[in-house]
Amino acid sequence: MRERIGQQLIIGLSGEELTKPEAEFIVENNIGGIILFDRNLKSVEQTHKLITDVQKLRYQTADKLPLFVSVDMEGGRVQRLKDPYTIWPPLAKLGVADSSSLCFQFTQAMGRELKAMGFNLDYAPCVDIFMNPENKVIGDRSLSSDPEQVAKLASALVRGYIKSEVLPCAKHFPGHGYTSVDSHFDLPKDERTLKDLEKDGDLEPFKRVIKARIDMIMTAHIFYPNIDPKWPVTLSPLFIQHFLRDALRFKGIIITDDLDMKALTKHHPVEGIPVQALKAGATMLLYCNEPDSPVKAVKSIARALADGEISDEIIHRNYEIIKQIKEKKLKQPIEPFSLDKVKQIIGCAEHKQLAQDIASGDVEKYLNKES
């Protein structure tokens, strides 16, 4: 059971090399994946070795499943992989062009670079609708303020990632575009009702990416007191199970945003957060920065199982969803390409030209290509 619990966690690493304690924790607990940040990404050669070392750990784990090797790569402000990788413009530039074909080419090219380096999961696209001009957290990370346009273009972005053999993860369900508080620092509150969300179109992009066969959706740390007066979305059975699973019929992985963000830790006991997220219907738990948090989470979940607070059925169901998606969707090769091949792909002239043309608005030549 511990190994099945571990498969439901994605964790951050401390630095540029995989440490012995990190490797041991991943192997002993059958951890589902890792997320890399600037602190882990010094050079192409170093990142290549780090991802290779991490992915080879699967041969020592209980079920030999490949790990999710994930990153935040949206373009614009959210760009973890810097030069010599292609520097991509923000999604707002794609919204101006309003072309599904261009969106498909954008994520296919971005995904090609990610795949070469061994990344198989990108926490993108951001499908939030830019509804509030005071919302600096989302801003140009959003495609548009028009729900239909966001929905249309988000579908194409998802298809581009899938074509490149990188799993996309649409975020942040049910939509972060109306709020103004940064959930890294406190809990955003949205006073709208469910009818308001439906009228404003918040859910339309998520409906469309589900039709595009996305395999992962990330929850938002937002509190809707007029919809669920008790729990924020990430901890809410109403939002996760009733709305996303039942009403929208999403069958893939529902992953939380980082559970160490102050939106949750300032308002809920830290040891209870992972337990409630699983009870609410989350499939995977994301821990980005605090090295002790995944250890505590595994213990908290095991204790909740022993006490009967969580049923075995939840753990088994989540494990089977993750296992099935990994076996079907993580294509060979799992490890990074050879360094020579990586250097031919990342930051290549074709990708750089595409990024520059999108940034400048000179996109006419891309608009009629097949998507």
**Residues belonging to the active site:** 184, 257
Sheet holding 68-71: strands in order across? 167-168, 121-122, 68-71, 33-36, 9-12, 285-287
Measured CA to CA, the distance from residue 189 to residue 191 in angstroms comes to 6
Buried b (16+ CB within 10 A) or exposed e, 79-88: bbbeeebbbb
Phi, psi of 263 (to 5 degrees): -55, -30
Return the structure tokens found at 154: 């988000």
**Beta-strand runs (E) in 64-177:** 68-71, 73-75, 78-79, 121-122, 167-168, 170-173
The bridge status of strand 68-71 relative to strand 33-36 is parallel
Please state, in angstroms and as integers, the Cα–Cα distance from residue 170 to each residue in 72, 125, 183, 257, following that order: 11, 5, 17, 11
Neighbours of 332 (CB within 10 A): 7
Return the structure tokens found at 188: 């955003």
